[in-house]
Copies of this chain bind each other. A is one copy, B any other.
Amino acid sequence: MARYDFASDNTAPATPEAMAAVVAANSGYTSGYGTDTISARAGDLVRALLDADAEVRFVSSGTAANAISLAALCRPFESVLAHHHAHVCTDETGAPGFFGQGIGLVHLAGASGKIDPASLAGPLAAPDVSYRQPIAALSVTNATEYGTVYSTADLQALIQPVKAKGYGVHLDGARLANAVAAGFDLKTIKGLGVDILVIGGTKAGMPPAEAVVIFDRALARRFDARLKQAGQLPSKGRFFAAPFIGMLEDGALFRHAAHANAMARRLADQMPFPVLHPVEANGVFVEMDEARLAALQAAGWFVYRFLDGSVRFMCSWASTAAAVDEIAESLRRLA
Contacts and interface: CB of A to CB of B under 8 A. Distances in A.
Oligomeric state, in copies? 4
A93 B235 contact: no
Interface string A74-89: 0111110000000000
A91 interface: yes
A92 B4 contact: no
Q: On chain A, which size bracket covers the interface?
A: 35 or more
Given A13-B28, A28-B13, A31-B302, A95 B91 contact: no
A101 to B, nearest CB: 5
Given A94-B76, A94-B102, A101-B97, A131 B31 contact: no
A10 B236 contact: yes
Interface stretch (A147-155, A219-227, A248-256): A219-227
Interface string A213-248: 000000000101111111111111001100000000
Interface stretch (A56-64, A176-184, A262-270, A278-286): A56-64
Nearest to A67: B231
A299 to B, nearest CB: 16
Given A11-B32, A95-B102, A208-B240, 16 more contacts: A11-B31, A13-B27, A29-B318, A64-B232, A76-B94, A76-B98, A77-B222, A93-B130, A95-B229, A99-B231, A128-B222, A130-B233, A203-B235, A207-B236, A230-B231, A231-B232
Interface of A: 2-5, 7-8, 10-14, 19, 22-23, 26-33, 60-61, 63-65, 67-68, 75-79, 90-104, 128-134, 202-203, 207-208, 222, 224-236, 239-240, 302, 318
